[in-house]
Each structure stands twice: as structure tokens, then as C-alpha cells.
Structure 1
Amino acid sequence: MSASLREPIARAPEILRSPRLDRARLDAILAAVLARIDDNLAVFTDAFPAPSSEGGVYPAIDNIEWTNGFWTGMLWLAFEASGEARYRAAAERQVRSFKHRIDHRINVDHHDLGFLYSLSCVAAWKVTGDACARDAAIQAADALLDRFLPTAGIIQAWGDLSNPAEAGRMIIDCNLNLPLLYWAAEVTGDREYAKAANRHIDQAARHIVRPDASTFHTFFMDPATGAPLRGTTHQGFSDSSCWARGQAWGVSGFPLVHRYNADPALIDTAARLANYFLNRLPDDLICCWDLVFTDDSQPRDSSAAAIAACGLLELARALPLGDPDRATYEAAALAMVETLGQHYLLPEGPPGTGVLAHAVYHMPKGVGVDEACLWGDYFFLEALVRLTRVWEPYW
């Protein structure tokens, strides 16, 4: 797809005029997030936050959910941002939990192994050279590769691989799980990991991305013939609408994959998705839970905004300096982080209190609506780290 097919960003002049966060303000917001992590260490060192909060406070759970890696990733980010040993010590204790989880196959029969192991064990390997963490991450990559359906060319999101009624589902979220496969290919020298990831990202670009640069949340392929079947939603407003967090996964995931797979079409696709996203935001640039809504009639999703901010920064990094939208992406990311830091931080509360208010987990099921969501907290911190230092992604 050509960059010329991008939808023009209607508010580009306004976004470019947005006041720019200075380093002092970024450091102040970062300090507030680190203080919240400190408040929660007593609860979440041997336990983990649930995916979404209840009244702003995360219940404590064991290492069983698809979201646990986001908390460990926050600990690694906190350690890299501050150098404080307490964050590293807590993260390393949790890495041992992830090794136990993959050794014993505890709720790992799904595609979210990248969310789990890139942010915990790959991060540990990159930051400290932990060999145990490296081994656990390779085991997780093996489990993810087991979900690859060669004829369909996709990694099945969830469901029993032997059940035809459940087979053939890919979802936009998987873009963020693919870096685990690319990393495994690099550290082991086995290109089968990368071949599967390349096939999946190509199928996602062909079938999840619609002609207008909106996205399906879910797309079904025939696992026996490889034929494309239908696009649907699982968490969006309708099959034809555009789930905001899914679009944000696309804005972030295509350029992250581009770090490993240098196909320029990935960046063109991400830019088209980014422009679609930016053109469907409320005045403060914090999206509603589905992009079919553009005002205060529906709940915002601060978690999708935080993902998108990281994606816009990653996309801008991959674009040439002369790209017409590059500066707008950077300005929009800064404006989102400023708004989240000024208006969306949860006030101080009991241990377990989340970072970002007004997120949405699963609107159709009424789960985690207008709460903190763990991935939103992670990506908000990742955005702050990206904006305040040179950082090597865990992805």
C-alpha cells in the first residue's frame, strides 16, 4: 500500500500547535507513576494485578492471566528509568514465576505469550542477561509457534486447535505477540519462528486491515484451505465498527514488527491506521472505546490512547525526517501523554491502586469499564520512558 493513500490528518495544524511537554513536566509525571509502583510493591511482588481494577484498585491474582507480563514489564521499565534495585529485585522474582508457568503449561494455550514473555523474560534477558529468563522465553516462543496454522498462514488466537468450530481465528492484538517469535529466531538462529511471524503479519495486513484503514478485531480463515472467511468483532461495538484498542494495536504492532521485518509496506500500513485513528478522536485526543464514537456519549479508553501514543512514537521513529505526517505523530503522542498525565491519573489510594483512570477492558461484557487496565498503565509508562531516554524495547 502506498503512503499516498493515507487519509489526510484533518487536525494536523492544531495538533502541531499543541503545547509541548518539557523535560521537567515529563519527569514529574514519570515520578508520579514510579511512586504508584512503590505503593503497590508490597502487594504485587509475589502476586500480580488482575487485568482490570475494581473501583480503581487491582485485585491480587496468581500468575494465570494473559496480562501478567504488563506488571513485570512496568517493573523493568521502572528499574531502567531509575536504576533503583528494588524494582529489579521484584521483577527477577516474578521472572521465576514465569519460568514455572511455562514449565507447567499454566494457561499458556493461547497467542498472548508475547504479552506475557516479551515484557517479563525477554526484558530480563535484554536488561540483565538472565539465562533462565532467556530459556523461559524460548519455551514460550515454542508454545506460540505451536499455534501456527500453516495452510491459513496465521497464529490462532485462542481455542482448541483440534476443534474445527474454534479454528482459524486471528485478531489484531497478535501483532504485539509476534516480536517474541522474531526475538527467538535471532537468539536461536532458527528461522522457522520468523517465517511464521512473517506469514501472520502479511495475513493481518491483507485481511484485518480494511480498505479504508480501519480494522476488524477478529478475522477467520479456513484452516483446511487457507481461504479468508469473515471479519467480526469480539470486543468492539459491531462487526463493521472499529474497536479503538484494536486500531491502537495495529498502529503499534506493524512498526514494531518492522524492526525485524524491513518490509516498507508495514510502515505504510501503520501510517494509514494512525491517520484513521487520529481523525476519529474527541477534542482532547483520548479515544472512546470504539472509534465509531467521537464525543462524550460513550466511555473513553485511556488504555487504548496509551498504546496509540507508543505506536505513534514507534511509527515516527521508522519514518524518514521528510515524511509529511512524522511531526504530527510525535506531537499527537506528546499531547496524549500530557492529557493522560494531567487529567487521567488516579488519585492516591490503597495499595493496588492503578495508574490511569477511565480505561475499558471489555465493553460488550461490561468488564473493566471506566476502570484502570493493566496494559494501559504499562504503555503509559513505556511512553514516558520513550520520551525521556534512549530505550531498547522489550518487544
Structure 2
Amino acid sequence: MPRRPAALRASISDHGLPDEYTQSPDIERAELARALSVAIDQIDRNLDDYYDRFPEPSSDNLTYSPTGNTDGWTTSFWTGLCWLAYEVTGDSRYRKAAEAQFETFERRLKSGEVKTHDLGFLYTLSAIAGHRLTGNDRYQSAAVTAADYLVDRFWEAPGLIQAWGDHEASEDSWERGRMIVDSMMNLPLLFWASETTGDPTYASIAETHARTNGQHIIRQDGSTFHTFKCDVDTGKPVGGETAQGYNASSCWSRGQTWAIYGYALAGDYTGEGEYVEIAAKLANYYLSKLEDDHVPRWDFDAPPDQDIRDSSAAAIAVCGLHELTCQLPFADDRTRFYRNAALSTLGSLATDYSTEDTESNGLLTDGAYDPSDGDYDECCIWGDYFYVEGLVRATQHWTRYW
């Protein structure tokens, strides 16, 4: 395929983007459709084992063990996979499984095991997806309740949603007043709640958190801290640290992709072009640091002897980049660029990181949950989910759950 005209390449270069993605990738739509079919077949094979149970967050020797839905942040990704399979195939078996799983999410709300910012992850892919696809009011009620619990974690002085722990913890708690970059993907629950209830409070809190996150977690060069703490009484910044990255000053690649996707979504919900431009800045940094096969190292600043990939970060990036193309003007030079980057990444995952023809019950190899704990080179359930969402985005007309 011929290269783009010089004037257009210069325009893209003005945004600090590498030349690689100015050309369309070789991956064909039929190849992606086949990859989606392979993924659906794997979901189908897992359905009996995980009908009303859930895969562990990360596999062991590429095999997930089952777990219940009493704590943690990842159970909804399996439910999200069931909803995606239902949409793609129309097979009611997947819907029935997702409905059975939803009952465990309802019980979790009643049990009070919801002291976490991850309510967006948990109830977007279980309750909001269920409501979008069935119209059942039970799903809507659960999602609004989850949004109420998330609002309770908001600190007004610094304008942030606390990530971990009890938000009423003692003043010397490490968690008190700490936000993390992952929280950008929990904000759609609040934006949705305002649209559904007509109460603007949810969206106001979501946008306030997005602004605070932008002020403190995003660095000048477009990289991100994993976590940042503020004084909850004065609102003053305390400083940035990491929990899963290499160190406080490094850039954890999965956190970077949470932010890309989260800001692209915030731009759509608010209509604010500023958030879309933030997503683009984050995407530019991410793409400038990628490996040749479009799958990042787990931390862009980790030393060479920690050359660990994270396919789950790449899968999130696919969805975030695609969403970014939906939010930029069609005539913007960057739209095709980000689309090419998303397709190149998706093609690499389907070709080189698929578990096809293995004994694994997951979908993607080389996921890195937490290399500092030795948890890498495995399947990660969120990576599997975003991989399938990316394939659906590339091959179907799909209305997102987020």
C-alpha cells in the first residue's frame, strides 16, 4: 500500500506520533472474525465449569481455577465475556449463564463487600450490560446501588474517589485519600447513573475525579503514576507512588491503557474535547514506547532484565484506541492512525498471543497481573475480556457496555 502524502505525514508527526501506523496493517477482517470465533468457542468450553462461578484473576500454568464472587475486582470480566458471546451468537446459553452470575453480584451488594472503587468494573459488565441487553429493572437497580456506594468514597476537598480500603480509615492510613489510575474505568458507572436517574450528582463527581486525576496522575510527558495521594482535609497533593509498576517514577503500561480508555469515555459522556485530547496525549506516549510486535512491556521503565510483556495492557489499549477514534472528528489525521494502531495490536494478539491449540482455558498468553509478586506469563481474565471486546469492535456493529 502506498505511503500517505508527505503533507499528511507531517501533520501526524506534528502530534508526536511514530510513522509506523500511518499505513493500514496487513490483518484482514476475515482473520479477526476467525479469531473471534475461536474465542467464542473457548468461552463455550468454559461455560459449564464457570456457569455461576468465576475464573481466578490470573491463571496458573495458563489454566484458571474457579472462585466465588465475594471479593476482588475481576469477576465481572467473565460475565462480560458471556454477554459478548450472547450478543455475537444469539445463543441463550450465554445469557442464562450471565443471569445466573448476576445473582452473585446482587448478593455481594447485600453483603456489604463493596468497599472498593472497583464497583465500576464489577457492575458495568454485569448489571449495566445486562440492563442494556434485557431491559430487566433488577440490573438497573443493582447498578444504581453500586453507584451510590462509589459516591460514598468521594473526598470533596481534593476532589477524588478513594481507591482502596475503608474511606473512613485512620488519618495515618496509606490508603486514605489515595486515587489510582485504574479508577478512570470506574467512572462510566457514575456517568451512566446520572443518565439513568436524572440526578447530576453522579456525573459531577465523576468529572471532578477525572479533572483531579488529570492534574496529579498524568505527568507532563503524557506518562502516568499508578497512584497519587492527596490530603483529604486540605486537598493538597502529597505525591505519586506505585503499587504494581516498577517504581514511583516509572510508567506502568496497564495503568497507561486504563487512562487512555477512561479519558476517551469521559470525553464522550461529558462532550468535553479536553478529555479526548488527554486520551490522545496518553495514547501517543503509549504508542511511542511499544515493542515491535505492539505488545508493551509490563512497565516502560523497568530494567532490561525484567523484559516481561503484558498482553492484557495491549488488549485494553485496543479498546481505548478504538474508542478514541470514535471521539475524534472523522477528518482528524489521528483517527486513521489510532485505528491502524488498534488493528495492528489486535492482529498481533490473535497471531502470537492466542492460546489456540494449547490446553489452556484462557484466551491470551503473556498477561502480567503483578510481576513484583512473580505473577506474569499467564492468562488474565480482564485481558481475555478486552481482547474479545476489541475483536467485537473490529468486526461487529456494537454498542459498548461502558
- TM-score, structure 2 length as denominator? 0.93
Distance 2:379 2:344 in 1: 20
Instruction: Tell me the amino acid that sits aligned with residue 160 of structure 2.
Output: I
Q: What secondary structure, in the 3-state scheme, does the structure 1 residue paired with 2:133 have?
A: helix
Alpha-carbon distance, 1:6 to partner: 7.6
Q: Residues 38-57 of structure 1 correspond to what in structure 2 (within 5 A)? A: 38-57=44-63
What SS is found at the alignment partner of 1:141? helix
Counterpart Cα distance in 1 of 2:13 and 2:352: 35
Q: How does 1:1-395 map to 2 (within 5 A)?
A: 8-10=16-18, 12=19, 14-64=20-70, 65-106=72-113, 108-162=114-168, 163-164=170-171, 165=173, 166-292=175-301, 298-348=307-357, 353-367=361-375, 369-395=376-402
Question: Structure 1: which 5+ runs fail to align?
Answer: none
How many residue pairs get aligned? The number is 388
Q: Is the 8 A contact 2:38 2:356 kept in 1?
A: no
**1:23 Cα offset (Å):** 2.4
Deviation at 1:231, TM superposition (A): 0.8
Partner SS state of residue 371, structure 1:
coil
> Residue type matched to 2:361 in 1?
T
Query: How far, CA to CA, are the matches of 1:327 and 1:4 in structure 2?
Result: 10
Q: In 1, Cα distance between the equivalents of 2:214 and 2:13?
A: 15
Matched residue of 2:372: which SS?
coil
Map of 2:7 onto structure 1: none
Could you tell me whether the CA contact under 8 Å between 1:309 and 1:333 is conserved in 2? yes
Question: TM-score w.r.t. structure 1 length?
Answer: 0.95
Shift of 1:20: 3.6
How far 1:195 moved relative to its partner?
1.0
**In the superposition, relative to structure 1, how do residues 295 and 207 fare at CA in structure 2: closer, same or farther (>3 Å)?**
same
2:289/2:300 contact within 8 Å kept: yes
- Tell whether the 8 Å contact from 2:267 to 2:274 is kept in structure 1 after alignment: no
Given residue 80 of structure 1, which amino acid in structure 2 is its aligned partner?
Answer: E
- CA deviation string 1:15-53 (max 9, x = no partner): 233534322111100000001101101111121011000
* d(CA) in 1 for partners of 2:14, 2:193: 33
CA separation of 1:105 and 1:293: change in aligned 2, threshold 3 A: same
Q: Distance in 2 between matches of 1:248 and 1:385?
A: 18
Instruction: Note closer, same or farther for the CA distance 1:93–1:68 as it changes in structure 2 (3 Å cut).
Output: same
1-structure distance, mates of 2:285, 2:303: 12
